[in-house]
Chains A and B, each alone.
Chain A
Amino acid sequence: MMHLHDIENSDPSKYRLIGRSVLSYRFIAPHNETLYIGDIKKITDTTKQSTFFAKVTDLSHDSNFADPKWDTRAYTEQFYGLGEDVFVTVDAVPLGFVDADGKFHKPRTIPSKFSLVEDPDAGDFRFLTEQMGEIEVGLMRSGQDVLADVAVRIPARVLPQHMGVFATTGMGKSNFMKTFCASCMQKKKFGLLIVDPHGEYVSGGKSSTGEPTRGLVHYTEGKDGLAIFTIRGENDRRKYSMNRLFLEYDDFRISDLSILYDLTSPQYDIIEAFSRVPGKDVIDFFADVDPEIFPIKDPAAAGIREGSLSWQIRNSMGGPVRVIKRHIENLVNGNQAFFRPTGSAIPEILKNLHDNRVVLIDIPDMGERSELFVLSVITRMIMEKHRSEARGFGIDDRQESSHQVLITIEEAQRVLASGGSSTQVFRECAMEGRKFGVGLCVVTQQPKNVDPKVLAQINTFVVMGLGDRGDREIIMGSAKQDLSKMEIEIQTLDRGEAIISTIGIPFPVSTRIHRYEDYIAGLNKEPKKNIRDGLDSGF
């Protein structure tokens, strides 16, 4: 007897894996479905008893019709039954998979054909929560949504292996840094140095969008993790328990000038000649010296003692000496607020860093040159200290510093651009600091202007919105995890959103950075830990 088979009216073609290779997934979704770049999808493979995860990297309209122009003809105003044959093709990049034992693996295999594609929930990311680190910065994002129970925490152990924060203006860089600081203050896993010439980190100010913001001092429950060195008046210092910032002349090295000024070759000769001379001697020398006596043809006749500073640069022309003299005078006069002949806060700063505090150098209204001056001095001192500690290791000791310090360099392209030998201290820090427990937190909105060799040293990438294709490409080429498939997501990141790629977390994580004000409000409400509860870990 002839009969008719009913064909299901439901549509099983959607949300099933149809793509193509280990590194490129594809499925289709209804044409009117709301999907976003960055959405994380769960692919349940019942055959292999594994759950794969993938991130949406591209969306495109597609259809089953052979006619490629079906949708562009003038009379295409009405269609019936469109949903079956017209669909959104979703390209996704695999993140990895969790096997039957709950163990996460890199995506070295492919889910079975037609495995079901679904939205994951927080429980699906339990494996990830376990692998996250300590320094919380936000919540995991899936497309437009956040997974409220999946906090993104950067492992503290990888941070001294350099971190990069890449964002154009207005994308929430300052908010990220303050949130990062708050978590560092809370966890106290390493020392963090920040030099703030704008005075916004201490007590807040206004964001680039004009909204009032709060500062690190408002995270009252974390104040033990914060040390502020400032040039502000006594009233302010007392109000927020801030330390007075002082650098003494001997903290200065004449090589610091090369960071602050563009120097000519003859001027460099003078810098090199005085490179080991204590700062106070250099400053005193240039305060008294008459540049007009240079070059000194006959030192003895001119009363110049052999070995003296004048004698060391006797062959210099008067012009370069005059320029250096003027630079040093400007440096001394311009930084009188904290730069003095004797009495330095550097030992205290180092101590606080080694006590794993966030050390904020607050020099409001001091300008870029002062910021770089302070930064280069402290960076050099940190490197010297850590180097000397390392020299004290025995052959059988672990060649690892007991102190971990992360130095923040804002607008890092100023001092870490390609070919800039003048910024040697930062370059050394980037190339060798890791060995001594010194890391750089490179903050820039122009990563393409940062030396690629420096970028190659960075293990943690915090990528916020980058409008420039060249910037995106350099970041994608430098990150330790493959970000190439996430270009569209990087391009479309909204304010306060970031992609965090670090060797501590198994795949690049899209993150909604906590709004600092909300985050510290939550932290301030957290009950204080009772000392009787003991320590997190034993001695």
Chain B
Amino acid sequence: MKDEYPNAVKEAAGRIRAKVPANLVEKFASACWIRHADFISCTPSSCGEVCAIDGSNVMLLESGSMALTVVRAARTSFIDMERSRRSVTPMTFALIGPDEENQDFPVLYADCFGHPPGKPLSNEDFTRAAGILRDTVEYWVTEQAARDLPAGSLLLRDGPLRVSHASHDPVLTRIDRACKEKEIGLAGISKVTSATWGGGHPLLPSISGLAKNLGIKAPWWIKIDPAILDHAQFPQWTHGEMYVALLHPKARSPLKIELPKDASRDRAGHIMDRLAACSADGRVPGYPYPLLDAHRTVVIGEDVVEKLKSDILGRLTDAGMDRQTYEILFGDYHDAFARY
């Protein structure tokens, strides 16, 4: 009995270690046949105009049958790392549940794109539904940027070039097309990735360790052959190809970067050089600063959440809902637990 907890810890750590073994890099090198020449050094150049898009959603109120979420998206533009514009969509509330299909999604979608979505949004998973609602505004902002950015700009989005809902697929297609027409460098940047190889070995530490073993000096990038990965993404919703890049010598981790399909090596190299050039900020070295700025612009902080909750409560009170009913619906026992 006394060893129960240490054993549990040991087992949990052991299971992680099995996926990230001591010889992870060696195993990866022999399994994927990546050579020194596959890593390409970045030559940080002028960033030019860079636009970054990010979205944010917060679950304001949650009961067993429904939840109220608020979403918004932001866009920040930099010209040679001087911010030229920053904008944000209004706070948009959406109710998830109690119906099976989300009632606000078609309204929001039509609000953004002028027509209803091709497929409804299920309310089954509150968190996923909130994410799709957020993506809707985020894709709208990205499409606006793809339309009005000057040719040759860089358009960054936080996340992959892959949609999570069928109705966003045509939007991302339009964005991709618009960027290609204007030679806008579109890149989807992910801080984490679920990509694995060899039966569950994580990709990013494997690539990073291999680069280190081969003596590759950051910043560098490499295109990932999908054949080495365990699972291929659903190809219809995927608009990009996977790259991994370490954009600064002091970066804490490489990033998974997706560029539109069929980007030439030169085109990819040009985009990576510009990404490296805007990833030297001392706060988060190795992460494109415009994306950090977009994140900071869009994030709905605790103080804002409190204000929003207060406004909603006020309106509910005006509408005749008493405090007790509100507490029964949306009160969280964890708040009470936290006091003790």
Q: Does B280 interact with chain A (Cβ within 8 Å)?
A: yes
Q: Are A9 and B83 neighbours in the complex by a CB distance under 8 Å?
A: yes
In this complex, the interface size class of chain B, counting residues with CB under 8 Å from chain A, is 20 to 34
B194-231: which residues lie under 8 A (CB-CB) from chain A?
none
Q: Are B297 and A65 neighbours in the complex by a CB distance under 8 Å?
A: no
Instruction: Give the segment of B28-36, B233-241, B281-289 that binds chain A.
Output: B281-289
**Measured between alpha carbons, how far is A2 from B75 in the docked complex, in Å?**
14
B144 partner residues in chain A, CB cutoff 8 A = 4
A7 partner residues in chain B, CB cutoff 8 A = 86-88, 297
Q: Name B289's contact: one of A3, A65, A71, A80 (CB within 8 Å).
A: A80
Q: Are A75 and B282 neighbours in the complex by a CB distance under 8 Å?
A: yes
Q: Are B281 and A79 neighbours in the complex by a CB distance under 8 Å?
A: yes
B275-297: which residues lie under 8 A (CB-CB) from chain A?
278, 280-283, 285, 289, 293, 297
B77-91: which residues lie under 8 A (CB-CB) from chain A?
78, 81, 83-90
Q: Does B126 interact with chain A (Cβ within 8 Å)?
A: no
B293 partner residues in chain A, CB cutoff 8 A = 80-81
Find the A residue at minimum CB distance from B86: A7
Find the A residue at minimum CB distance from B90: A5
* Given A9-B83, A75-B250, A80-B289: A4 and B88 interface contact (C-beta under 8 Å): yes
Q: Are B283 and A65 neighbours in the complex by a CB distance under 8 Å?
A: yes
**Measured between alpha carbons, how far is A81 from B291 in the docked complex, in Å?**
13
**Measured between alpha carbons, how far is A73 from B251 in the docked complex, in Å?**
13
* Distance (whole angstroms) from the CB of A63 to the closest CB of chain B: 10
Find the A residue at minimum CB distance from B73: A4
* Given A2-B137, A7-B88: A81 and B83 interface contact (C-beta under 8 Å): yes
A4 partner residues in chain B, CB cutoff 8 A = 75, 87-89, 141, 144
B282 partner residues in chain A, CB cutoff 8 A = 70-71, 73, 75-79
* Distance (whole angstroms) from the CB of A205 to the closest CB of chain B: 57
Q: Does B112 interact with chain A (Cβ within 8 Å)?
A: yes
**Measured between alpha carbons, how far is A1 from B297 in the docked complex, in Å?**
21
B283 partner residues in chain A, CB cutoff 8 A = 65, 67, 70, 76, 79
A80 partner residues in chain B, CB cutoff 8 A = 78, 81, 278, 281, 289, 293
* Distance (whole angstroms) from the CB of A423 to the closest CB of chain B: 63
B95-151: which residues lie under 8 A (CB-CB) from chain A?
108, 111-112, 137, 140-141, 144
A81 partner residues in chain B, CB cutoff 8 A = 81, 83, 289, 293
* Distance (whole angstroms) from the CB of A6 to the closest CB of chain B: 5
**Measured between alpha carbons, how far is A75 from B89 in the docked complex, in Å?**
34
* Distance (whole angstroms) from the CB of A7 to the closest CB of chain B: 5
**Measured between alpha carbons, how far is A9 from B281 in the docked complex, in Å?**
20
**Measured between alpha carbons, how far is A378 from B259 in the docked complex, in Å?**
95
A71 partner residues in chain B, CB cutoff 8 A = 282
Q: Are A2 and B89 neighbours in the complex by a CB distance under 8 Å?
A: yes
Find the A residue at minimum CB distance from B112: A2
Binary CB contact string for chain A from 413 to 431 against chain B (1 if under 8 A, 0 otherwise)? 0000000000000000000
* Distance (whole angstroms) from the CB of B264 to the closest CB of chain A: 29
Q: Are A5 and B89 neighbours in the complex by a CB distance under 8 Å?
A: yes
- Identify whether the interface residues of A are mostly helix, strand, loop, or mixed: loop
* Given A7-B88, A73-B282: A1 and B289 interface contact (C-beta under 8 Å): no
Q: Are A75 and B285 neighbours in the complex by a CB distance under 8 Å?
A: yes
* Distance (whole angstroms) from the CB of B287 to the closest CB of chain A: 12
**Measured between alpha carbons, how far is A155 from B286 in the docked complex, in Å?**
65
A72-96: which residues lie under 8 A (CB-CB) from chain B?
73-81
B75 partner residues in chain A, CB cutoff 8 A = 4
**Measured between alpha carbons, how far is A1 from B283 in the docked complex, in Å?**
37
Which of A75, A78, A80 has the most chain B CB within a 10 Å cutoff? A80
Q: Are A6 and B85 neighbours in the complex by a CB distance under 8 Å?
A: yes
* Given A1-B111, A75-B250, A81-B293: A6 and B285 interface contact (C-beta under 8 Å): no
* Distance (whole angstroms) from the CB of B107 to the closest CB of chain A: 11
Q: Are B137 and A6 neighbours in the complex by a CB distance under 8 Å?
A: no
* Distance (whole angstroms) from the CB of B96 to the closest CB of chain A: 19
Q: Are B280 and A78 neighbours in the complex by a CB distance under 8 Å?
A: yes
B134-172: which residues lie under 8 A (CB-CB) from chain A?
137, 140-141, 144
Find the A residue at minimum CB distance from B108: A2
Q: Are A6 and B86 neighbours in the complex by a CB distance under 8 Å?
A: yes
**Measured between alpha carbons, how far is A81 from B90 in the docked complex, in Å?**
24
* Distance (whole angstroms) from the CB of A445 to the closest CB of chain B: 47
Q: Are B85 and A9 neighbours in the complex by a CB distance under 8 Å?
A: yes
Q: Name B281's contact: one of A1, A2, A67, A78 (CB within 8 Å).
A: A78
* Distance (whole angstroms) from the CB of B156 to the closest CB of chain A: 14
Find the B residue at minimum CB distance from A71: B282
* Distance (whole angstroms) from the CB of B128 to the closest CB of chain A: 21
B111 partner residues in chain A, CB cutoff 8 A = 1-2
**Measured between alpha carbons, how far is A482 from B80 in the docked complex, in Å?**
50
A1-49: which residues lie under 8 A (CB-CB) from chain B?
1-7, 9
A70 partner residues in chain B, CB cutoff 8 A = 282-283
Q: Are A5 and B88 neighbours in the complex by a CB distance under 8 Å?
A: yes
**Measured between alpha carbons, how far is A374 from B19 in the docked complex, in Å?**
96
* Distance (whole angstroms) from the CB of A241 to the closest CB of chain B: 71
* Distance (whole angstroms) from the CB of B265 to the closest CB of chain A: 28
* Distance (whole angstroms) from the CB of A95 to the closest CB of chain B: 33
Find the A residue at minimum CB distance from B297: A7
Q: Name A3's contact: one of B86, B89, B280 (CB within 8 Å).
A: B89
* Distance (whole angstroms) from the CB of A327 to the closest CB of chain B: 74
Which of A5, A67, A70 has the most chain B CB within a 10 Å cutoff? A5
A73 partner residues in chain B, CB cutoff 8 A = 282
* Distance (whole angstroms) from the CB of A389 to the closest CB of chain B: 71
**Measured between alpha carbons, how far is A70 from B137 in the docked complex, in Å?**
32
**Measured between alpha carbons, how far is A67 from B292 in the docked complex, in Å?**
15
Binary CB contact string for chain B from 248 to 274 against chain A (1 if under 8 A, 0 otherwise)? 001000000000000000000000000
**Measured between alpha carbons, how far is A81 from B84 in the docked complex, in Å?**
11
Which of B84, B85, B89, B283 has the most chain A CB within a 10 Å cutoff? B283
**Measured between alpha carbons, how far is A297 from B87 in the docked complex, in Å?**
108
* Given A75-B285, A80-B281: A2 and B140 interface contact (C-beta under 8 Å): yes
* Distance (whole angstroms) from the CB of A4 to the closest CB of chain B: 4
**Measured between alpha carbons, how far is A67 from B281 in the docked complex, in Å?**
15
A52-79: which residues lie under 8 A (CB-CB) from chain B?
65, 67, 70-71, 73-79
* Distance (whole angstroms) from the CB of B276 to the closest CB of chain A: 12
B112 partner residues in chain A, CB cutoff 8 A = 2
Which of A4, A73, A76, A78 has the most chain B CB within a 10 Å cutoff? A4
B250 partner residues in chain A, CB cutoff 8 A = 74-75
A76 partner residues in chain B, CB cutoff 8 A = 282-283
B83 partner residues in chain A, CB cutoff 8 A = 9, 81
Q: Name B86's contact: one of A1, A9, A65 (CB within 8 Å).
A: A9
* Distance (whole angstroms) from the CB of A75 to the closest CB of chain B: 4
**Measured between alpha carbons, how far is A1 from B89 in the docked complex, in Å?**
11
**Measured between alpha carbons, how far is A70 from B284 in the docked complex, in Å?**
9
A380-410: which residues lie under 8 A (CB-CB) from chain B?
none
**Measured between alpha carbons, how far is A65 from B282 in the docked complex, in Å?**
12
A441-461: which residues lie under 8 A (CB-CB) from chain B?
none
* Distance (whole angstroms) from the CB of B251 to the closest CB of chain A: 9
**Measured between alpha carbons, how far is A80 from B88 in the docked complex, in Å?**
20
A65 partner residues in chain B, CB cutoff 8 A = 283
Find the A residue at minimum CB distance from B280: A78
B280 partner residues in chain A, CB cutoff 8 A = 77-78
Find the A residue at minimum CB distance from B144: A4
**Measured between alpha carbons, how far is A2 from B86 in the docked complex, in Å?**
16
B81 partner residues in chain A, CB cutoff 8 A = 80-81
**Measured between alpha carbons, how far is A7 from B87 in the docked complex, in Å?**
5
> Could you write out 15 A-B pairs with CB less than 8 Å apart?
A4-B87, A5-B89, A7-B86, A65-B283, A67-B283, A70-B282, A74-B250, A75-B250, A76-B283, A78-B281, A79-B283, A80-B281, A81-B81, A81-B83, A81-B289
Known: A71-B282, A79-B283. 8 other contacts (CB 8 A): A1-B111, A2-B89, A2-B112, A4-B75, A6-B87, A70-B283, A77-B282, A78-B282
The 9 closest A-B pairs by CB, nearest first: A76-B282, A75-B250, A4-B87, A2-B112, A7-B86, A6-B87, A80-B289, A78-B280, A80-B81
